[in-house]
Amino acid sequence: MNGFEKRALLIKEKIKKTTLNMLSHCEPKQIRIMDIAKNANVSQVTIYNYFGSKEALLNEVFKDYIDQAIQEFEEYMTKDISVKEKIELIILQKKEANSQKFALTVVKELMIEQHEMMDYIKKQYDKRVIPLMLQLIEDGHRSGEISPKITAQGFLVFINMIIDHSKTLGEAFERNKKFAEEMMQIFFYGLCGRP
């Protein structure tokens, strides 16, 4: 890569990082190319030259975000820690302190309302996340942390139900730390306690 290409890559990354930061507190409809250009200290023409449109820029930023989140998940799931700790990550959605968060409206607009983005996420989930979840079940069966009565299909359905309600659970976890402990108790030992 020559000097011009390196400089172009740095400028493009700066624009994406600026956009990502703006998405953490603004809805996509509120963000203007003019604002991104001002915050990134580049011209509007530069943004259009690299991305073509605001929508294309937002899509690229969101795909990068999804890829990074899955990469962090892969790294965590391959750590030498207990199955229980890995499941806690999934349920509580623990993140590193420096992880970027999107406003919920951003996720809704970019993920749910755009079929191309939903397809991308589904492909990444099927290709990269599901194999890790299946490995987690196998590891849990081997270590005795997951009952042999629990099938991979049953576990995935249950985890997906939790993920589907992650917004509600996340809000409850933030309001009441004991609620998180209660949910973990129910997840691991059911309503009747340890078998």
Considering only CA atoms, give the Rg of the chain: 20
132, 112, 163, 80: CA torsion to nearest 10: 30
Q: Is there a domain that residue 195 lies in?
A: no
Q: Is there a domain that residue 116 lies in?
A: yes
**Joined tokens for residue 159:** 């985890």
Long-range contacts made by residues 151-157, C-beta under 8 angstroms, separation at least 24?
Answer: 156/130
Q: Is there a domain that residue 85 lies in?
A: yes
Ranking 35-44, 105-114, 162-171 by mean pLDDT, the lowest is 105-114
**Joined tokens for residue 144:** 């005795």
144 and 83 in contact (C-beta within 8 Å)?
no
72 and 129 in contact (C-beta within 8 Å)?
no
Q: What's 84's domain CATH number?
A: 1.10.357.10
CA distance 81 to 86: 7
The tally of domains found in the chain comes to 1
- State what percent of residues in the chain have pLDDT above 70: 83
Output the CA–CA distances (angstroms, integers) from residue 107 to 26, 72, 195, in the order listed.
11, 19, 40
Range of the domain at 67: 3-164
Residue the block writes with tokens 């983005």: 117
Digit-coded pLDDT (tens) for 116-140: 777 888 899 889 989 998 999 999 9
pLDDT score of 98 more than 80 = no
Q: Is there a domain that residue 13 lies in?
A: yes
Q: Is there a domain that residue 175 lies in?
A: no
Q: Is there a domain that residue 189 lies in?
A: no
* pTM for this prediction: 0.74
Per-residue confidence at 93, pLDDT binned at 50, 70, 90?
A: low
Q: Is there a domain that residue 108 lies in?
A: yes
Q: Is there a domain that residue 150 lies in?
A: yes
